[in-house]
Structure 1
Amino acid sequence: MNVLILHGLGKGFVGARSTSLDHILCFQRYAPEHEYVYIDIQEPVSYWLTEFPFDLIVIDGTFLCWRWVRPRSLLDDIKEKYNWICNHPAVKIAFPQDDYDHSKVLDQWLYDLKVDCIYSVCTGHHDILYPLCSQTVGRIGMALTGYVDDALLKAREAYPPLPLQSRSIDIGYRARNLPAYFGRHGQIKVDLGRRFKEIAEGSKLRIDVSLDEKDVLTGAAWGDFLRDSKFTLGCESGSSVIDPEGEVRAAIEKYLIEFPGAPFEQISKDVLSGVDGVYVFSSISPRVFEASIFGSCQILVEGTYLDGMRPGEHYIEIKRDYSNVHEVLELVGDLNSAQQMECRLYKDVIKSKKYMYSTRVSEVFSRVDLIKANKGENPRLELWRAEIGNNKMFVTGAAVSLLLTQQEVAAVNQQVEAVSQQVEAVSQQVEAVSQKNDVLMSDLRHLLRFIYLVKSVVRFIRRLFDFKV
C-alpha cells in the first residue's frame, strides 16, 4: 500500500516527543512492506500530493489538535487546504486525542473529510462526542493513547528490573497541573500527588512526588526514575467537561484574566457549574505500561484500566476519597506481596502482547483491508497507478516531489532548463577549441566526458521533475 501520514510534529520531527513519534512511526516500523509519505500540517500542499494514488491516509492526533487554533480563520484555511481528502478514494482513518475538547468541531471536520474509521481514546460516550460520525455503525473504534514498543518488551526480558527491595524510592510520581477546563476529573492527578506529599511529611517513607514543571522527567531520566521506584502512583486520564466549540475554555481564560491565580474550586463554582460532571470521558495513560516495563508496582486510583487488570491482584487500588489510604500504606510495607503483584501484571497483561504496537498495527491494517473490501477497488486509483506507476522508486522520489507546489515545480523546471543551456554552450565552446589545438585533445576528451556526464545528470533531474503543471 501507499500510505500518507498527516501529522503536526513539524517538518523532520524536530523536537517531537518520543511517545508522539512512536505513535506515527509505528506503522512503518511494524509494517515495512508498505510505502510511507509523511506530511506536516504546515507544509505546502502540492498538486501531486492531492493526485497521488494513496491506498491509506492516516490522520494523526497531532494534526487534528489544530482544531484548537485561534483565530478560527486559521482553522478554516487548514480545512480548505486539506479539503481534497474528502473526495480521495483512499481509506481514511483518524486517531484523535482529547476528543472532548472542541468535540463538535472535531466531529464536523472528520465527517466532512469522510473518514472511514475513527479510533477514539475515550472509553465511552461516543454518541455524545461524535453525533455525526457515529451514525455509521462500526465507524468508531477504540484505541489507547500509547502502546508497548516491542523493543522495550525485549529489553525487560533481556535485562530484568531490580527487585523492589533494591530500590531507593518508596513511592514515585510526576504529574502536571491540568487547566480547569478538564473539570474535576482532570484534577485527580494533582490531588493524588498532593495527598501523598502530605503523607510523606508524617511518615518514614521516601516519597519523590512533584507537580512542578521543572521536575518533569523525559527519555532515559524517566526510565531511570521508574526503575528506582518501588511503587508508582497513577490514575485515569481524561476530562469531565465536554467543550463542543471551545466556549468553556474561552470562558475560563477570560475569568482568569479578571481573577488571576483563582483556585479550581472557585473556577468550578463560578464557571463550570452545570457543566462539569455531566459526562466523564476517561482514557488510559501509557504510564501503566511504562511502570510495568520497569518493574514498579502500581498504586492506582479506582477506575477502569486495561482488560485483565484487577485491583488487589495486579495493582493496589486507592479509593477516590482516599478512605483506604492507611490500608494502602500497609500494603506498601509488604514488598514480597507487592513484588508478586507486579510480576502478575507483567505476565498476565503486558507480556500478553495484546497492547504491543506491532499487534495494534496489524489490527489496524486488517481493519483497512476490510474497509477496502467493502468499498471495492476504486477505478480512479487504478488509473493513477497506470499513469505514474506503483513502485518503490517512484514513492521514494515522491517523498520529495510531493512537497512541491505547482509554482515550485515550474521554477525547478526553469532552473534545470537554464543549466542545460549553459552546459550545452560550454560543450560547444570546448568542441571548437579542441578542433584548433591538437595538443590539448587528450585533456579535453576527459573534460568532454565529464560534461556529458553532467548533461546526463541534468536530463535525469529533468525527468524527475517533469511534472504536469
Structure 2
Amino acid sequence: MSRGGQLDILVFNSIGNSGVPSFLDHIGMFGRYSRHRCFYHNFVYQFDPEMDFSKFDAVVFTHNFWLPALSEAQRKAIHDIKALKVLFLQDEFQYLRTFNAIMGEMGINLMFTCAAERDFDQFYPKKLIPSLREVHQNLTGYVTDALMKPGLRARGPRRWDVGYRGRAPIYYMGLLGQHKLRIAEEFTALCEREGFTHNISYQEDDRLSGRHWFDFLRSTRVQLGSPSGTSIVDLDGSLIEAEQKYRAEKPHATFDEVYKKILKPHEGKMKIDTVSPRHFEYAATGATMVMIEGDYGGYLKPDEHYIPVAPDYSNLDAVAAKIRNRKLCREVADRAHAHLIESGDFSAEKFVRDFDTIIERHAKPKMHGDRPDIAAFNAVMTEKFNQVLFFGRMGHAHIRTGEGQRLRRETLKSHVLSHTPVVGPILRQTGGDPLMKLAKGRAALRMASAIPDFRELVAQWARNPEQRALQTILFPEVLKSILLLGLVKAAQSGAAPYGEGFHVRPVLEDDFLALIGEPADPGVPAAGHTVKMAAKDARKIEAAISRGLDGGIRLDLSRRWPIKLFGHSTLFAWSVEDKQAFFRSSSDEYFHLSALSKISRYAPQAAASAVFCALRPASGREVAVLEKAFNLVLPESLKTLSVEARSA
C-alpha cells in the first residue's frame, strides 16, 4: 500500500455546489470516514481529459453518474487511468447494457450496485466488462451520525396520524414504482374515511428537506413507504423510447394503458427492491413504517419492522386497525429503530470501513512520487469550476468565496423564512424550496389583490366552513391555482419568457375542464390570443362547472412542452419575480388546479369567472401586476385595450 498505508482517492460526482442533505451525506461519507485521503471533483461531466491522474491510487465515480454523458475524449482518459477505477450507480433500470459497454470501454474494476447479490451476474456480466474484478452491494444511503443521536427520536404526542412525501413515478419503473403514487391516493382516501389526521402529498413542490423533513417526520405517528427500486429494467433503451413515442401521440395516457401496451411483458424479469435513506430516517425519528410488502433487500421484515400493506391494497381495513393501535405502532417502531439504527449495521461509517478494506485489496501500491496536496487541489477546482462545496472529516461545507458566501446567505434566508410567523408554519408543512415558494406565493397574492376574479377565489376559500380547520395547510393550494391561472393570463397577453410563449383554449372533456396550451403564433398580436367563445359554449362551461366536474379543472401544456426522454411529466421554466421558476405537472401531464376544482363545488360562479378571466388578455392595472409577478414586459397595446376586447 502507498505512502504510509494511506491511499489517495479522487471522488468524482455530479453534485456541483448544492444538493439535498441525503445526497451530500452519501457523497461525503468517504471524506468523513475513510482511513484514506479523499479529493472531491463535483463536476464530473466537465472534467478535463488532460487531467493528471498519476498521483491518485483510486478514482471513484459516484452519485447517479450518467455514463453516456461523457465525451469520447473523457472516456478514453478514464480508460488510460492506471489507478483502481470504482463505480457507484443508482439509476440502474435504464440503458443497462449501454452502461455495461461503457464500463468495459473505460475499464471499471469495482462495481457497487443497488441490485441484490443474486442478480449481480445478470446486471453486470463480466463477459461484457472484462476489466471488472468484483461487484458489491451498495445502498442509496446509510445511517449517519446525526441519525444515531438519541434526541432525534421524538417522544410524546404527534400532530399527524399519517404522513407521506413522495414523487410521481416514471412509468417505465413498472408496478413497483407506481406504489409511490398509489399509496398516497389510497391512504388519503383511507384517512378521510377513518378520521385519521394526515399530511400526504406526492407533488414536487411539496417535497421537504433538511431539518424541515425531520420536523415533519417527528410530527407524525405513521409514515407511508414502498421499496426503493424498480420492477422493470430496460436493457437497451427500447422500452423508454417506445413509451416516449406512445406518450408523444397520447400525452395523457394512463399508466395502466402504457403498461398493457408496452411494459407488461417485461414486468418482474429483472428488478431492484431495496431500502433507502428514507427508511432509516423513519426509524431514527420513531415514525412507524406502514409500507407496501416487499423484499427491501432482505433487510426489513413485515410485521416486525413495518406494518405491511398488500400490493393490491386489499388489507387496508386491517392496516387501519393497526394504525389505531398505538401500542402496536410503538412496538413496531422500536424494533425498527433497534435493527436499523442502534445496531450500527447500516451506518455510513461501517460501510466506508468495509469499502476501505475492499479497495486496499485491489489498489496498486505507489512507493514513490509526490502526493497530491488537498489544499492545492481544492484551489484548482475552485479556479476552474467555481467549486465551493467540499467534504472532509466534519462533513460538507462551502468555502468562503463569493459563490460560497452567496450559497450561505441563501441557506440562512431559507432558515429564517421557515421560522417566520404565519408564513413559516405553512412552508414547514408543505415543503419545497422556501425562497421559491415565497416568490410564487407573493406573485399569486399580488395577482389576487389586483384582479377581482382571482381575489374572489381567496374570499370563497376563506368563507367555506369545511376548510376553516385546514386553512393554514391548504391555503397554498389556492395560491398555486391562482399562479397557474396568472400564467395562462400572461400567456394570453403575449408573454413569452425564455422565448417560449403559448396560448390557451378551454375544452370540456367527459368529466373535467381542460385548459389546453398550444404554441403561440408569433405573428398574432397579444389581443388576438383572446378566446372568443360563442355565448352557448361559455354557458356550457359554466353549466358543467355548476353541475360539478369529477375530474376537476386542469391545465394541459403537454403540446407546448412535450415530455422529454427520462422525464415523467411536463416541465417548463417561467420567470417568477426575479427568479427562474420551474413548473412540473403530475405524471399524467396535467397541472391539476386542485383548489380551483374544490372551490367550484361550492362556489361554481367564482370558479367559472376566474377561468374566463384567465382566458382574457390583461389590460390596465392587470398588465402592471402580471409584469411584476412574472418579471416580463407585455405589449404596450394591452395598456389601452378596449373594454370591448377585454369582454370578448
Does residue 139 of the first structure (1) align with residue 134 of the second (2)?
yes
Pairing of 1:358-373 with structure 2 (within 5 A): 358-372=349-363
1:79 is displaced (CA, Å) by 3.9
Indicate the residue corresponding to 1:4 in structure 2. 10
CA deviation map 1:17-73 (0-9, x unaligned):
2222112111111126514242412334164x33431011111133x2253xxxxxx
Give the Cα separation in 1 of the matches to 2:379 and 2:336: 45
Indicate the residue corresponding to 2:120 in structure 1. 126
CA deviation map 1:255-291 (0-9, x unaligned):
1111011100111122224233332222322211010
Q: 1:36 aligns with which of 39, 45, 52?
A: 39
Pairing of 1:47-446 with structure 2 (within 5 A): 47=50, 49-62=51-64, 64-67=65-68, 75=69, 78-123=71-116, 124-132=118-126, 139-154=134-149, 157-163=150-156, 166-305=157-296, 307=298, 309-372=300-363, 376-377=364-365, 381-382=366-367, 385-386=368-369, 389-390=370-371, 394-401=373-380
1:243 is displaced (CA, Å) by 1.4
Residue pair 2:162, 2:198 contacting (<8 A) in 1 also = yes
Residue pair 2:9, 2:36 contacting (<8 A) in 1 also = no
How many residues are treated as equivalent by the alignment?
376
Cα distance change, pair 35–189 in 1 and its aligned pair in 2 (3 A): closer
Identity across matched positions, percent: 25
Give the Cα separation in 1 of the matches to 2:235 and 2:346: 31
Residue pair 1:240, 1:279 contacting (<8 A) in 2 also = yes
Indicate the residue corresponding to 1:412 in structure 2. none
Cα distance change, pair 348–98 in 1 and its aligned pair in 2 (3 A): same
Residue pair 2:164, 2:223 contacting (<8 A) in 1 also = yes
Cα distance change, pair 27–162 in 1 and its aligned pair in 2 (3 A): same
CA deviation map 1:131-186 (0-9, x unaligned):
245778861110101111112212xx1454123xx011111111111121112221
Give the Cα separation in 2 of the matches to 1:25 and 1:111: 27
Indicate the residue corresponding to 2:634 in structure 1. none
User: Secondary structure in 2 aligned to 1:320?
Assistant: coil
User: Secondary structure in 1 aligned to 2:52?
Assistant: helix
Give the Cα separation in 2 of the matches to 1:284 and 1:29: 22
1:127 is displaced (CA, Å) by 2.3
Give the Cα separation in 2 of the matches to 1:60 and 1:86: 17
1:305 is displaced (CA, Å) by 2.4
Cα distance change, pair 264–158 in 1 and its aligned pair in 2 (3 A): closer
Residue pair 1:4, 1:39 contacting (<8 A) in 2 also = no
Cα distance change, pair 231–51 in 1 and its aligned pair in 2 (3 A): closer
Q: Which structure shows the higher helix fraction?
A: 1
Indicate the residue corresponding to 1:20 in structure 2. 23
Indicate the residue corresponding to 1:432 in structure 2. none
Residue pair 2:293, 2:309 contacting (<8 A) in 1 also = yes
1:110 is displaced (CA, Å) by 1.5
User: Secondary structure in 1 aligned to 2:356?
Assistant: helix
Q: Which amino acid aligns with 2:166?
A: A
Q: Which runs of 5+ in 1 are unaligned?
A: 68-74, 406-469
Give the Cα separation in 1 of the matches to 2:258 and 2:83: 45
Cα distance change, pair 193–43 in 1 and its aligned pair in 2 (3 A): same
Cα distance change, pair 399–226 in 1 and its aligned pair in 2 (3 A): same
1:247 is displaced (CA, Å) by 2.2
Residue pair 1:56, 1:91 contacting (<8 A) in 2 also = yes
Give the Cα separation in 2 of the matches to 1:269 and 1:307: 30
Cα distance change, pair 252–307 in 1 and its aligned pair in 2 (3 A): closer
Cα distance change, pair 351–269 in 1 and its aligned pair in 2 (3 A): same
Give the Cα separation in 1 of the matches to 2:193 and 2:160: 16
1:308 is displaced (CA, Å) by 5.3
- Alignment TM-score, normalising by the size of structure 2: 0.55
Residue pair 1:45, 1:403 contacting (<8 A) in 2 also = no
Which one has a bigger Cα radius of gyration? 1
1:307 is displaced (CA, Å) by 5.0
Q: Which amino acid aligns with 2:114?
A: V
Indicate the residue corresponding to 1:449 in structure 2. none
Residue pair 2:9, 2:39 contacting (<8 A) in 1 also = yes
1:362 is displaced (CA, Å) by 0.7
CA deviation map 1:339-388 (0-9, x unaligned):
1221121113321111111111111011001123xxx53xxx44xx43xx
User: Secondary structure in 1 aligned to 2:222?
Assistant: strand
Residue pair 2:94, 2:233 contacting (<8 A) in 1 also = yes
Cα distance change, pair 347–181 in 1 and its aligned pair in 2 (3 A): same
Residue pair 1:61, 1:94 contacting (<8 A) in 2 also = no
Cα distance change, pair 89–273 in 1 and its aligned pair in 2 (3 A): same
1:125 is displaced (CA, Å) by 2.5
Cα distance change, pair 51–41 in 1 and its aligned pair in 2 (3 A): closer
1:402 is displaced (CA, Å) by 6.9
Q: Which amino acid aligns with 1:60?
A: T
CA deviation map 1:219-241 (0-9, x unaligned):
22211111011011111122222
Give the Cα separation in 2 of the matches to 1:260 and 1:113: 38
Work out which structure has the larger RCO, using CA pairs closer than 8 Å and 6 or more positions apart in sequence: 1
Instruction: Give the alignment's Cα RMSD to 1 decimal.
Output: 2.3
Give the Cα separation in 2 of the matches to 1:294 and 1:168: 14
Give the Cα separation in 1 of the matches to 2:12 and 2:280: 26
1:187 is displaced (CA, Å) by 0.7
Residue pair 2:177, 2:230 contacting (<8 A) in 1 also = yes
1:128 is displaced (CA, Å) by 2.4
4+ runs deviating over 6 angstroms: 134-138, 402-405
Residue pair 1:3, 1:35 contacting (<8 A) in 2 also = yes
1:203 is displaced (CA, Å) by 1.4
1:404 is displaced (CA, Å) by 8.1
Cα distance change, pair 308–397 in 1 and its aligned pair in 2 (3 A): closer
Give the Cα separation in 2 of the matches to 1:403 and 1:52: 21
Give the Cα separation in 1 of the matches to 2:147 and 2:168: 29
Q: Which amino acid aligns with 2:371?
A: N
